[in-house]
Structure 1
């Protein structure tokens, strides 16, 4: 996220501030409530490893199913997308069927990641919507 200071100059929100915003959104369940996520270890000052839950969207083949996944926010986030790995079996073409890893090149949102994206709006849940929509 880039903010304009009003005088024409802008600055980039630091990675940890951005992750704190993501954490707040994930814990509060911003959106329609079908996506939630949070940190695996509250003592991890780098906020790298997270767990998420997705409830399959209405009117899609995955409707009502609950999927567990892991998110890993490396040092390049938010310029680079988080890594995503499903722990629940899911049958969509962008997910490696043996490892559960989402292959970014096969999933448009991750392949075309932009710094302004948030996980729940532009990532995980849309895996199912994009794949089956």
Structure 2
């Protein structure tokens, strides 16, 4: 089966991101509409209900390198969050600690990553973790 070129793949993701994902709890789009390489993206996750994240909006930066989708994007939280896979120094998601990034395959997408991060927020181990004050950033 032929592999879809990087830019076609990212165009598909952009179109999907602009339409909104599922229930609207995650969204993403290009940081700069003139970015011809479609490398830098912004993402948003609305914290899952019945957790310490409820009613919080988390902003993230997403970078799709030249080898995307063969290699996972890099993800960095702008909003401060306390999760075991997020560096408390700079907000970078440590790929080796987040299964969707650690076991990446080219069928995954920016959407997959955001949805999985949100699921992790709602997981038993993370749903009650103390969080930094709302609105604080890295």
Offset, 1:132: 4.1
How many angstroms apart in 2 are the aligned matches of 1:47 and 1:93? 29
TM-score (norm 2): 0.84
**Runs of 4+ off more than 4 Å:** none
In structure 2, what is the equivalent of residue 125 of structure 1?
A: 115
What is the count of residue pairs matched by the alignment? 123
1:76-109 deviation digits (Å, cap 9, x = unpaired): 1001111000000000010001100000001111
Cα distance between partner residues in 2 of 1:126 and 1:60: 16
Correspondence list, 1:9-48, <5 A: 10-48=1-39
Name structure 1 gaps, 5 residues minimum: 1-9
Q: Determine the C-alpha separation between the residues in 1 that align with 2:92 and 2:48.
A: 20
Q: Does 2:81 match 1:90?
A: yes
Deviations 1:7-53 (A, max 9, x none): xxx20111001001111111110211011111111111110001111
Whether 1:60 aligns to 2:51 is: yes
- Measured after TM superposition, the shift of residue 125 of structure 1 is 3.4
Structure 2, unaligned runs of 5 or more = 124-138
Which residue matches 2:131?
none
Using CA pairs below 8 Å that are at least 6 residues apart, which structure has the higher relative contact order?
Answer: 2
- Which structure has greater strand proportion? 1
The whole-number CA distance in structure 1 between the counterparts of 2:34 and 2:17 is 17
Normalising by structure 1, we get a TM-score of 0.87
Q: Confirm whether residue 71 of structure 1 aligns to residue 62 of structure 2.
A: yes
